[in-house]
Amino acid sequence: MTLRKYLVLAGVTVFSTAGDSLLARGMKNLGSISLHNLSGLVLSVLSPFVATGILLLLAFFTCYMSALSWADLTYVLPATSVGYVLVALIAHFGFHEEISPTRWLGIAMIAAGVGFVAAGPSVTPCHETRDSRDASSENVTAGVKS
Amino acid sequence: MKDAYTWAAIGLVIIASTTGDVLLSYSMKRVGDVAELWKRRGILAVVGRILATPTFTLGLMAMGIAFYSLLFGLSWGNLSLVVPASASLTFVANALAARIFLHERVSRRRWIAALLVAGGVILMAI
């Protein structure tokens, strides 16, 4: 794991959290959308909150694809949940919002989970890429058992 | 009725996003390390190779379905139910799917992590 890879994982975290928050905010402003009114769903992208949210989610997607090109799905995915922790910590230390004991427990569980994964290997060694397909064939059997 | 719609949307988000994640992860593993490919062959080669992977397009479509299902869910149900319910169950579903379809080594360490994160996400929303 190099600094660049940690930066990509940080991008996954920050962009997904910011994007989701803006989307949620935008959809709340629009109110309920029913199956009979599908045009409302399509037009929702014209709201500035939803539009900015989608742009940030595109940035997230770029980082996410980059991360998935060198790390396992089960390694990258927990990183996306660090955002919940960040939002709560910013709310508490930045805006002095109260955080209930259950939420502190949730923060601790997410942090512990992410720490668990981050301490382990980032990729299962048996994955084939186009360039290493021939070279890695002898590793395939080693990767299956666990 | 609104409840049934909400849970149907949550279920769809879980299935679609797990399918999408697995397909995208599979595609990117076939493409290989993007940064190295970029350095060697340029950005166009990276984009070209990604777009030439059929499972990438399928994964993108699944993600699109998940995205719109989430928008549906958010417009019907509470934010504090829809987001944590779909997010936490997606972590568990993804760990299962990664093991079965991607043959990732989901060690005990990663299972504990998936369950801790899923539980933590639920607690954060209460």
Instruction: Give me the tens of pLDDT residue by residue for chain B, a chain 126 residues long.
Output: 678 888 999 999 999 999 999 999 999 999 988 888 888 888 888 899 999 999 999 999 999 999 889 888 888 888 778 888 898 899 899 999 999 999 988 888 889 999 999 999 888 877
SS3 A21: helix
Contact: B83, A127; criterion CB under 8 Å: no
Complex confidence, ipTM: 0.84
Nearest CA in chain A to B109: A116
Radius of gyration from C-alpha coordinates of chain A: 19
Rounded to the nearest 5°, which phi and psi values hold at A50? -65, -40
Tokens linked to A103: 């939420």
* Number of Cβ pairs < 8 A linking chain A and chain B: 161
Residue A10, both tokens: 């940080």
CA–CA–CA angle B10, A66, A57 (5° rounding): 45
Which amino acid would we find at residue B6?
Answer: T
Identify the residue among A3, A13, A63, A69 best suited for mutation to test binding to B, counting B beta carbons within 10 A and taking the highest. A69
- Contact flag A41-B71 (C-beta cutoff 8 Å): yes
Using the beta-carbon criterion (under 8 Å), do A81 and B33 form an inter-chain contact?
no
Are residues B81 and A34 in contact, defined by beta-carbon separation less than 8 angstroms? no
Chain B residues with beta carbon closer than 8 angstroms to that of A130 = 30-32, 49
